[in-house]
Amino acid sequence: MKLPTLLVSLPLLFLAFSQQTSASSYPSFTPIKPLYHLRTYTKLHSHTNPHSDHRFNGLYLHASPTGANPDNHYALFTSNISLAAIGFLNSTNSIEGFDLNKNQPYSFSFQMQPDAGWSEVDINAGLGSLQGVEFADMGKAGKALVLSNASKMGSIWGGWIVCDWWHNAPQLFWRYSDKYKPGPYPAPRGCADVDLIQVLLS
């Protein structure tokens, strides 16, 4: 899939929205139960989700090393549950954490791309400042990971979008809400709006 002209013209320097806590701060890290995987549930066709690509349905979030830094990972998706990242919710400050079997917690890091309708999500070492994460009941689909409207990022977060991008695997992005960027932004071809559904581990 080719990058939209708008994104190609953007500066390569992105502003990371969350500052990560040093790994040395977690000498005896233990994830907080309940533990779970995050699985995609493709949203129905709509004016903002014109393609609703079901190839992206039922995939598990996993953390793929960037190669540049062992503590930084791309948020990608796979059908192989054995590769799925183990998630947990830090209830103290409502941060989505991940246990990658590296003796330290990891968490989401949102990138910011001015003038774009959506931006990249990474999974980096430490518990970042992306607070306000919670689960919302989506009925038969299950409980979906969302950002509270009362949180700093929740006020501009407009949902999750998955795209075939440049890592040979579907990649996670986040949408800007209409309040932040006026007017709906249709998902590009090769992308689809999804919910991230909690799949509890026994």
Answer yes or no: is pLDDT of 34 > 80: yes
Backbone angles phi, psi at 111, to 5 degrees: -90, 155
Residue 3 lies in a domain: no
Residue 102 lies in a domain: yes
What pLDDT, on a 0 to 100 scale, did the predictor assign at position 2?
40
Number of domains in the chain: 1
Answer yes or no: is pLDDT of 139 > 50: yes
Three-state DSSP class for residue 164 = strand
pLDDT band (50, 70, 90) for residue 3? very low
Q: Classify burial at 133, counting beta carbons within 10 Å of its beta carbon; exposed 0-12, middle 13-18, buried 19 or more.
A: buried
Return mean pLDDT, the chain. 81
The residues facing 170 across adjacent strands are 164
Answer yes or no: is pLDDT of 101 > 70: yes
Residues 24-28 have a mean pLDDT of 49
Residue 33 lies in a domain: yes
Distance CA 136, CA 194 (A): 14
Domain of 156, in residue numbers:
15-20+27-200
What pLDDT, on a 0 to 100 scale, did the predictor assign at position 185?
73
Answer yes or no: is pLDDT of 27 > 80: no
Residue 10 lies in a domain: no
The residues facing 95 across adjacent strands are 90
Residue 122 lies in a domain: yes
Highest mean pLDDT among 64-73, 104-113, 161-170, 193-202: 193-202
CB 65 within 8 A of CB 169: no
pLDDT band (50, 70, 90) for residue 5? very low
Residue 4 lies in a domain: no
Answer yes or no: is pLDDT of 16 > 60: no
pLDDT band (50, 70, 90) for residue 8? very low
Answer yes or no: is pLDDT of 174 > 90: yes
Of 195 and 51, the one with more pLDDT: 195
Residues 10-23 have a mean pLDDT of 38
Cis ω for the linkage preceding 34 (within 30 of 0): yes
Can you say whether residue 103 is alpha, beta or left, with left for phi > 0 and alpha for psi between -120 and 50 degrees? left
Answer yes or no: is pLDDT of 145 > 70: yes
Residue 5 lies in a domain: no
Beta-carbon neighbour count of residue 75 at 10 Å? 26
